[in-house]
Amino acid sequence: MHHLGRGRSTDEEHGLLRRHVHLRTGSCCRSCCCRACLEVGMSSLTLVGSHASTAMSPALWTRAFEIAEVSSSYDAWEVADVADLPDVESALRVGRTDAANVTMPWKHWAATVADEAHPDVTVSGVANLLFLRSGALFAMNTDIAAVRAATAGRTFGSALLLGAGGAAHAAAFALQGRIDRLVISDVDRGAAEGLVTELDGYDGSVAVVDWSDRAVDLDSYDLVINATPIGRDGSEDQLAWGTGELAPSATVYDFVYADTRNAVESYAADRGIELIDGWTHLFHQADAMVRPLGLPERMSDALRRSIREICPAAAGINR
């Protein structure tokens, strides 16, 4: 996998272009101005996770590639057993796939398997993107980048973070320095306490509440973050925080996205509460991959258009 233009002279780049394989035809391309081959840094992307086959990302990226006229593919790789993870690492290192988006439950593994990592990964201990960079397996966390982008310029007095997995890590580290008081709740209290330990040095106070008490003082939070899978099935009767009412001025950040309106979306719409929905997060998460993977800049607009086609009601994307 070559990253054209990184530390190479024009003559060297032209030499590589004359020798590389054409991404559309599979034959040797001798043109120095082939648009598809000049612009595409990655030709094969893969989503890796225990429920990868049911995720929206492959459809989102596949349609975006079509819109942008980019000859790349995005596939799903169902990995439910830790014993299969060495196969993923091998596929990346030998080039059977150019990059892997890593989702539940392997985001911690992605951070540890990499040779090099973005500072966000080093700090959070969680990664969701792996690719070769100058021969080394490199890890990034585009969930952190997405939360930063979706909440840019915002500060919050208090926040309730529901969940303690990879998405919760991303939210906590992305909002560091912009929350005065963070409360974390998870069905596994030990996991929530573990996240607090990892947040050593966090700018602001951090506390843990039992999952059964997560709705206590619910109206005191400026921000409520659903970093759990609750609502993924589109069920109308599932609210991640359970019972209770949010403050009218609160903001909800929901990592969950689905092709039908879920309970959080209905709740926010009925009460006029600001919602940063899962589709908005998914867009920013995907957009954060474009430049690192050497994809053309027009992919950003293509990703936005793809989401609008898949889910026209995606709240944040259509604002």
Q: pLDDT above 90 covers what percent of the chain?
A: 69
The pLDDT value recorded for residue 199 is 86
Alpha-carbon distance of 63 to 60, in angstroms, equals 6
Select which of 46, 103, 107, 120 is catalytic: 107
pLDDT band at 39 (very low <50, low <70, confident <90, very high): very low
- Binned at pLDDT 50, 70 and 90, residue 302 comes out as very high
Spatial distance between the Cα atoms of 75 and 40, rounded to a whole number of angstroms: 17
Measured at the CA of 195, the angle between CA 161 and CA 88, to 5 degrees, comes to: 105
Residues whose CB falls within 8 Å of the CB of residue 273, separated by 6 or more in sequence, listed in order: 246, 248, 250, 251, 252, 267
Residue 135 has pLDDT above 60, yes or no: yes
Q: Is the per-residue pLDDT at 245 higher than 50? A: yes
Residue 269 has pLDDT above 70, yes or no: yes
Banded model confidence at residue 55, pLDDT cuts 50, 70, 90? confident
Cα–Cα distance for residue pair 185/200, rounded to 1 Å? 17
Please report how many Cα atoms fall inside a 13 Å half-sphere around the Cα of residue 24, on the Cβ side: 11
Smallest CA-to-CA distance from 38 within 8, 17, 68 is with 17
Q: Residue 2 carries which side chain, given as an amino acid letter?
A: H
What is the rounded distance in angstroms from the CA atom of residue 182 to the CA atom of residue 185?
Answer: 10
Band (pLDDT 50/70/90 cuts) for residue 263 is: confident
Over residues 98-117, the pLDDT tens digits come to: 999 999 899 999 999 999 99
**If you average pLDDT over residues 4-23, what whole number do you get?**
29
Rounded distance between C-alpha atoms, residue 293 and residue 211, angstroms: 39
The answer to whether residue 34 scores a pLDDT higher than 50 is: no
φ, ψ of residue 276 to 5 degrees: the values are -100, 105
Rounded mean pLDDT of the chain? 84
State both tokens at 186: 């998870």
Using alpha carbons, list the distances in angstroms from residue 161 to 37, 122, 201, 206, 263.
Answer: 43, 21, 18, 10, 17
pLDDT for residue 161: 98
Asked about 266 being catalytic, the answer comes back as: no
Phi, psi of 192 (to 5 degrees): -65, -40
Reduce the DSSP state of residue 227 to 3 states and report it.
coil
Cβ-based burial of 51 (10 A; exposed 0-12, middle 13-18, buried ≥19) = middle
All domains of the chain, ordered by start, with CATH? 1-39 (no CATH), 43-140+282-318 (3.40.50.10860), 145-276 (3.40.50.720)
User: What is the value of pTM for the model shown?
Assistant: 0.83
Q: What is the pLDDT of residue 56?
A: 87
Distance, C-alpha 110 to centroid of its chain: 13
| pLDDT class of 158 with cuts at 50, 70, 90 | very high
Per-residue model confidence as pLDDT tens digits over 57-106: 999 999 999 999 999 999 999 999 999 999 999 999 999 999 999 998 99
Contact (CB, 8 A) for 75 and 19: no
